Every structure is written in C-alpha cells, then in structure tokens.
Amino acid sequence: MNQSISLFSLFSSILHLFLVLNFYGGVTVNGDIVSNLCENVTRVYPTQNYEFCVSALEANPLSKTSDIFGLGVISLELCSNNATYIRTYIDGILKDGKPEPERARTCLQNCIGFYSTALEDVQAAIEAFKGKDYVTAYRQLVTGALIDADTCKRGFQDVGVDFSPLKKQNYDFSQLIGISLGIITEIRGTTNLQ
C-alpha cells in the first residue's frame, strides 16, 4: 500500500516535471518567432550566423510582433539601410583618411558605385516582395545585390590591395541579404527559385 502510494507520487512528479518542461519548451519555440526563424534560415543556409540573425532582427522592436512577411520587410529594410550606410562609410574613408596604397582609393571609389547599384537592387526587391513576387525579389538579391558586394571585394583582390577596411561592412551586408533570402525561401517553402 505504502509502496504503491510512493510509486504513484513518483509517477505524478515525473509527469508534472514533463509537463512543466514541455510547457516552457513550447513557449520558447512557439513564442519567439525571431529565434525560430533564424534557426530555419541557418539550417537552409549554413553560412548564415544564427546570433547575427537574431540580433539584426531584434534591433527592430516590431520584429517581436511581426509575422514572417513582416520580418521579410524588416530584413529587407535592414539591407537597404546598410547599403546606404556603407556608401557613406566609404565616402568618409575617402574624405578623412589617406587610403594606402593609392590603388585602394580607386577600389573604394568603385565600391561606392557597386553599393549604389546594390541599393537599387534591394529597393527593387522590396517592391517585388511587397507585391508577393518572391521570384523577382530573390533574383534581385542574388544576381544583383550579392554580386555587387562581391565585385567590390574582388576589386581589392584583383589589384592585391588589403580589403580589411570594408571587411566587416561587406560581411554584415552579405549576412543581411542571406536573412532575406532565407525568409523568401521559408515563405515559398522551397529553395528552388531559379
């Protein structure tokens, strides 16, 4: 008798523990769309950085109450702001500093042009995304913005100039574009967008 009571209470404590863990587990997974989305994006695109994704999206307080479509707009706007900022940043290097060697100056000037085109591509992607034309949005980002950012980088490599002044900016921009691509993929339910 005593034994069956203690077995019963042991069983009910285990059940209780299970329910509590399950409840909190459920809350973290379902309650936090940003971390859930960033897990998905990182799974589909392994070069994406999970912590970067979460902190980039959470920088906008609206992300917590957005659905996946809203997060898509937020992430694309981050790309747009970032491209604008990178142009200004490069302008600053050209005005204030003395890029060494002088060849770096030409590379930086070219990059202003590449990031201007990247910005136009992102704007076109935003229009397409808002109109639910996900194939066009995806293409603008992959064959436009990402290639422009990469061409900026290759300009330095081609003439053997140190790329480090723009390394962080280039990485951030590519990661932000990757988040948008992941979101478009998630909405479409397929990576086949060619």
Ligand X SMILES: *[C@@H]1O[C@H](CO)[C@@H](O)[C@H](O)[C@H]1NC(C)=O
Which residue's Cβ has the minimum distance to ligand X?
A: 85
Return the residue matching tokens 């992607």.
125
19-38 residues near ligand X, rule: CB under 6 A: 33, 36-37
Coarse DSSP helix, strand, coil percentages of the chain, rounded to the nearest 5 percent: 85, 0, 15
Q: Are 193 and 135 in contact (CB under 8 A)?
A: yes
Closest distance between ligand X and the C-beta of residue 184, in Å? 12
10: Cα within 13 Å, side-chain hemisphere = 6
User: What is d(CA 80, CA 120) in angstroms, rounded to the nearest whole number?
Assistant: 9
Alpha helices in 32-67 (DSSP H): 33-44, 50-58
Subset of residues 128 to 157 that bind ligand X, contact rule: CB under 6 A: none
Contact with ligand X (CB under 6 A): which of 12, 22, 81, 157? Answer: 81
Closest approach of Cβ 90 to ligand X, in Å? 13
Positions in 100-119 near ligand X (CB under 6 A) = none
- Report, in Å, the least distance between residue 40 CB and ligand X: 4
Q: Which of 48, 63, 82, 180 binds ligand X (CB under 6 A)?
A: 82
Footprint of ligand X (CB under 6 A): 33, 36-37, 40, 56, 68, 81-82, 85, 172, 176, 186
